[in-house]
Structure 1
Amino acid sequence: MKLHSIDNVESFISTNRLAVLFISSPGCSVCQALLPRIEDMLQTHPQVELGYADASEVPEVTGKFLAFGAPTILVFAEGKEQIREGRFIRLEEFENRLEKLIAMTNY
């Protein structure tokens, strides 16, 4: 789900028990390659919702979440940040951390 304002981002985080926020920037080739892979990975985790925001469209997102590099991936459980990954993200490691979080929270 594309998030077009900081209010959308905050609402997305607060209304989903497990939320992955993907923050990208325009022209970021890593972002363009990684987002579809994250979407595919999350197909096997239906309890996790994915939202993404472009830092050029929603500039407040970088300051609010201290996401000064792209991509930045934040995982929230009941509104609290649990996982933070930035720039060079190893998908297998990220998925393992996410699965542990899912198991710990019983979602």
Structure 2
Amino acid sequence: MKNLNSINDIKDFIKENKFVMLYFSSDGCNVCNDILPRLKELLKKHSKVVSGHVEVQNIPSVASVFAVFTIPTIIIYLEEKEIVKQSRYINFLELKEKIQRFSEFV
């Protein structure tokens, strides 16, 4: 999971990769810290997904640019189009199913 440190880094990352998952979190968020290892484990099984990690406290404008109003938030892009967004409660079963379904298009 690549750490992304600016709005331009995030936009370039989405543009340069076909199938992208962004994970928005904060250091002070215990739920975010608990989810991160589970998310990394899920991504090991889906090599087509390129993932990025955004620490929202480091990029204050990220909330308005990507409509991230609560954390944790996961946004998945396919060919630069947002196709999945989950915030606060991350349903891993649903997330896994969506990743598998959209992997067929990559």
What residue number does 1:58 align with? Answer: 59
What SS does the corresponding residue of 2:4 show, helix, strand or coil? coil
Letter in 2 for 1:82: I
Can you list the C-alpha shifts for 1:72-93, whole angstroms capped at 9, x where unaligned? Answer: 0000001110000000011111
Separation in structure 2 between the aligned mates of residue 95 and residue 15 of structure 1, nearest angstrom: 23
Residue 102 of structure 1: how far off its partner (Å) = 1.3
Report the alpha carbon displacement of residue 26 of structure 1 after superposing the two structures with TM: 2.7
Separation in 1, partners of 2:12, 2:37: 23
What is the aligned partner in structure 1 of residue 16 from structure 2?
A: 15
Identity in percent: 31
Report the alpha carbon displacement of residue 35 of structure 1 after superposing the two structures with TM.
1.2
- CA-based RMSD of the aligned residues comes to 0.9
1:1-107, aligned counterparts within 5 Å?
A: 1-103=2-104, 105=105, 107=106
- Provide the rounded CA distance (Å) in 2 between the counterparts of 1:87 and 1:42: 19
Deviating 4+ runs (over 2 angstroms): none
TM-score (norm 1): 0.94
Deviations 1:5-34 (CA, angstroms, capped at 9, x unpaired): 111111111111000000012311111011
CA distance in 1, matches of 2:36, 2:13: 17
How far apart are residue 97 of structure 1 and its match? 1.2
SS of structure 1 residue aligned to 2:5? coil
Name the CA distance, whole Å, in 2 between partners of 1:68 and 1:50: 20
CA shift for structure 1 position 65: 0.9
Distance in 2 (CA, whole Å) between partners of 1:99 and 1:61 is 28
Unmatched segments (≥5 aa) in structure 2: none
